[in-house]
Amino acid sequence: MKLRFTTCLLLLTACDTVPVVSDAALPDAALADAGPAAPPQCEGLAIEPPAPSCDRLTTDYAPGADDEWAACISDDGQYHRIEPNISTIARVGAFEELEALLFDPTRDPSADQFLEGRLLYQEDEGLDSRVVRRYDPHFSVPDGTDCTVSGALESFPDYCVGPAHLGPTILSAFAEGIAGGSAEPPRVHAARIEAALHWFFAVSTFKESLTCTSTARDCDSAYAYYTGGEEARGGLGLAEAVSAIDPLAHDRAWDGLLAVRCWRDLDAADIATDVALRDRARAQYDRAVIDGVAALVRDRLVRACASSGPELLYHLAFAQTLGAMLDREARLRSPEQADALREELTRASASDFDVARAVAAIDALFECP
């Protein structure tokens, strides 16, 4: 089911300028009515996630392991760049600058800081230049679908995630922060920017690992969108956030990105042909990245229950925005749990939000990276 999501609900911009997005993409309303006297429902909340009781798949790659993979360039545990310079690294660096400027749940950024952040976001060849054209290959569309063509956003909003959802969310949040006077605290707009950019990084790893089939250097971008170009097992941006709360997912994500590089080493022609090996590597990488995203959403929900006032709203706005990315995978695993998670993540009021139920759904859906 699709619907027209307007700023009357969340983004607070002109209703006739917001493109169509899926009903899974955003919550139904702003959390403006929540405050210190209206906390979410947290009774029965599991503070710590359950310990994973799963092993690697037999088809998974691990550097130097005795597995089903042939010897390859990744076996030393390092990512070996296909080209020496990776432009993606600068975009993750821009995120790091935005983080220092805006992404703090304990304070409200100033209008000038939002303006500085938007200029940083919209630098030439920067984050905005890629967000506005990002599509999500997780979703099937007719061959030749082009998100820049009139009607594509309305027809395929999930696939055209960057221009249909992420870009409008980010730019609307910047606009609200710069203008001021919103019913929501300024930090809540910053939370949506932070969450939307994490979503962008996660989707980008999957997209770039696909287009690496015909453009080998895109494997470098698939690696850098997660790690920021850091050395083995390190990371900035999304990787830094995931490693802080879910080291196992981060470790498995590194194995996955090395699997992608291993595939492209073993399948080194200008146009790669071993689609089966490619898809095995991409699935391994994607599974871990999605698990890391789920861990981020879970963490913010738990932190919401330990917060109040504007800080509480920051964590819920982050969880609602990034949590929408999980709906597709959640629905494949358990429609019932997916419905429970979506229902909570689309609450209009913090006081109606059953955090314990949402966290339980995440724990049931995303146990193993």
What tokens does 39 get?
Answer: 């906390």
- Between CA 356 and CA 338 the distance in angstroms is 15
Ranges 52-56, 99-103, 105-109, 317-321: which has the least confidence: 52-56
For 13, 15, 185, 344, 350, the CA distances from 26, given in Å and listed in that order, are 15, 15, 19, 12, 15
Please report, rounded to a whole number, the percentage of residues in the chain having pLDDT higher than 70: 90
- Between CA 180 and CA 195 the distance in angstroms is 20
pLDDT category, 31, cuts 50, 70, 90? low
Q: What is the mean pLDDT of residues 60-85?
A: 95
The total number of residues written for the chain in this structure? 369
Which residue is associated with the tokens 């821009």?
94
**What are 283-339's pLDDT values in tens digits?**
999 999 999 999 999 999 999 999 999 999 999 999 999 999 999 999 999 999 999
Q: Which residues contact 253 (CB under 8 A, 6 or more apart)?
A: 226, 239, 242, 285, 288, 289, 292, 369
Q: CA 64, 243, 335 angle in degrees (round to 5)? A: 95
pLDDT category, 54, cuts 50, 70, 90? confident
Residue 6 is predicted with a pLDDT of 30
Q: What is the mean pLDDT of residues 93-120?
A: 98
Residue 29 is predicted with a pLDDT of 42
- Between CA 347 and CA 351 the distance in angstroms is 9
Q: At 333, phi and psi to the nearest 5?
A: -90, -45
Residue 190 is predicted with a pLDDT of 98
**Which position has the higher pLDDT, 18 or 101?**
101
pLDDT category, 38, cuts 50, 70, 90? confident
Ranges 53-57, 91-95, 241-245: which has the least confidence: 53-57
pTM of the model: 0.91
- Between CA 287 and CA 56 the distance in angstroms is 11
**What are 115-148's pLDDT values in tens digits?**
999 999 999 999 999 999 999 999 999 999 999 9
Residue 4 has pLDDT above 50, yes or no: no
**Which position has the higher pLDDT, 360 or 29?**
360
Residue 30 is predicted with a pLDDT of 56
- Between CA 346 and CA 320 the distance in angstroms is 7
Q: How many CB atoms lie within 10 A of CB 73?
A: 17
User: What mean pLDDT value characterizes the chain?
Assistant: 90
Q: What is the mean pLDDT of residues 19-44?
A: 56
Residue 266 has pLDDT above 60, yes or no: yes
Residue 28 is predicted with a pLDDT of 41
Q: What is the mean pLDDT of residues 269-277?
A: 98
Residue 35 has pLDDT above 50, yes or no: no
Across-strand partners of 179?
Answer: none
